[in-house]
Structure 1
Amino acid sequence: MQLLLVEDDAMLSSALRAGLERDGYQVDIASDAPAARLALTDHGYAAVLLDLGLPGGSGLQVLRSVRERYDTTPVLIMTARDQLSDRIAGLDAGADDYLVKPFQPDELGARLRAVLRRAFGRVAPVLTCKTVRLDPARREVTQNDQAVSLSVHEYRTLLALMERCGRVVTRQQLEEAVYGGDSTIESNTVAVYVHQLRRKLGDDLIATVHGHGYRMGDAR
């Protein structure tokens, strides 16, 4: 799942990126308003983490430009501006949530997961598909109540499949989920991780939909 982090403080953005990547996200960074606008025009992100005080323009201007295009990408504002009027302005401009600096990484993670759940139309924080249960908050996977150990890439592949349980997920979508669209990866990489998941979870849980991709669970 790929995020855009819009933050001009290099030390903070580096720390946030490291934490988010440990949680299984791929993170692009934009350090000013023009770079943020360009990234949001050229790429599709699962969510945007947006500072308000940016070189080359304000975060609110970036947010308004996104919403003027009818782009519904979830946006979580992170800012030191803690006045009620600032929070109202951000939410009215189209932000999905507003987090005041300084904040704890765990709170950012929880708010991000909540925003993503709403975007995916999920209320429950835990994903269930067939006999498999995945808790994104704890990065825990169980099958029939037994813990399953997965590598980072296996976990990201499974998460992408379970978020779309019952629907076909293309190889390109899985590549985006695992690697953020890195064009240098081998063409059979996704198939390798699907094979490893089948080995650990059972051959019948992930179906190959020839010519399209993969599906976990019964077709919808």
Structure 2
Amino acid sequence: MSMQINNPTLLTPTTNNDSTKVQSTANVENKGSTDEKAANKESDIKLSSRAHKIQMLNEEFFPGGPASVAITPGFIQRLHEYGFISDTELEKLDVAKSEEQKPSGTLGELSKKIDSLSDRLTSESPDDSLIGILTRADAIINNLDGSKPSPLTGDIKTVSAELNAYMGSSDADKLADAEKKMMDELSLTLKIADKLNPNNASSQKLNSYLSFM
């Protein structure tokens, strides 16, 4: 007489377990999707707020474009109020406390000084590395309000670092005292430009917000 052994483990279908696993995976995916949407929404809110603050800066300090702007203590203070610079950065950037960096005019006048120095160097020392630095720096300050973006305006930190390195080298000895003072003013302006740079957030999204404001 043969014996028949029923194995419930082998005969029981695994549909329920599979269904549970699928449901669990779906829950994880849904949670991830929800978290991602929440993060994107928070990012959009921050960008919208940043865009609004930049728009207010434009209205108060850029009515005639970057050429009409002077980096004054009032401008620095407004950057601090809007959260573009910290308390520590405010101390470093406060031009009222640093006569060496105190601007002598508008950014339009600074741009003309840059052009003049570039022309002199091109004539006297066409291989001088400062020429390329000044070209990029000039493009950056003329895009301070975001109205003239170009490939030259992207990497502000690198331009600023290159300028500081040049001024700390013996190559800077060929500059006149007035030109060195202008370099201090340019260095300060580049720091400001970096704080306003849309790449500190998301340039594509920020520019899209600004285009509707």
Q: Determine if the TM-score, normalized by the shorter chain, exceeds 0.5.
A: no
Larger Rg: 2
Question: Normalized against structure 1, the TM-score is what?
Answer: 0.24
Q: Which has the higher strand share?
A: 1
